[in-house]
């Protein structure tokens, strides 16, 4: 999707610093953090929302990426959030998982 901000970010168009990246996902800081740690786990493939996520392998990869990134950063206590649909607060229509944590991490 050419006008999707998260497609542009995961394709490296903005030189965003990735906390983690592999062939299928990228993890970067939320631009407007709601907690001291606020990261977004974003698949490289454009999928509008959880309502359109039919790929079971990718579903697992997204959740395992949360686990891996938190382990790497030493974060043991965190919230994971997926907003689905405008009425639930989804603002960017490229699926993403929020990782939210307190504490003082040097990211």
- The residues annotated with a catalytic role in the active site are 96
Query: Which string of x and - marks every residue 35-74 that binds Zn ion (by CB under 5 A)?
Result: -----------x----------------------------
Binds ligand AMP by CB under 6 A, chosen from 3, 17, 54, 91: 91
Stretch that binds ligand AMP, among 51-59, 65-73, 89-97, 99-107 (CB under 6 A): 89-97
Residue 92's binding partner among Zn ion, ligand AMP, none (Cβ under 5 to 8 angstroms by kind) is: ligand AMP
d(CA 51, CA 21): 24
Joined tokens for residue 55:
């790929």
Task: Outline where DSSP puts E strands in 1-107.
Answer: 20-21, 25-29, 37-43, 79-81, 97-101
User: Tokens 């229509």 appear where?
Assistant: 93
């Amino acid at each position: 999707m050419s006008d999707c901000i998260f497609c542009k970010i995961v394709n490296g168009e903005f030189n965003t610093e990735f906390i983690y990246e592999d062939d299928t996902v990228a993890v970067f800081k939320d631009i407007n953090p709601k907690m001291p740690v606020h990261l977004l786990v974003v698949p490289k493939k454009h999928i509008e929302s959880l309502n359109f996520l039919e790929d079971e392998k990718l579903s697992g990869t997204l959740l395992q990426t949360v686990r891996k990134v938190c382990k790497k950063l030493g974060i043991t206590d965190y919230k994971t959030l997926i907003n689905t649909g405008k009425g639930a607060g989804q603002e960017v229509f490229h699926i993403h998982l929020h990782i939210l944590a307190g504490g003082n991490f040097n990211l």
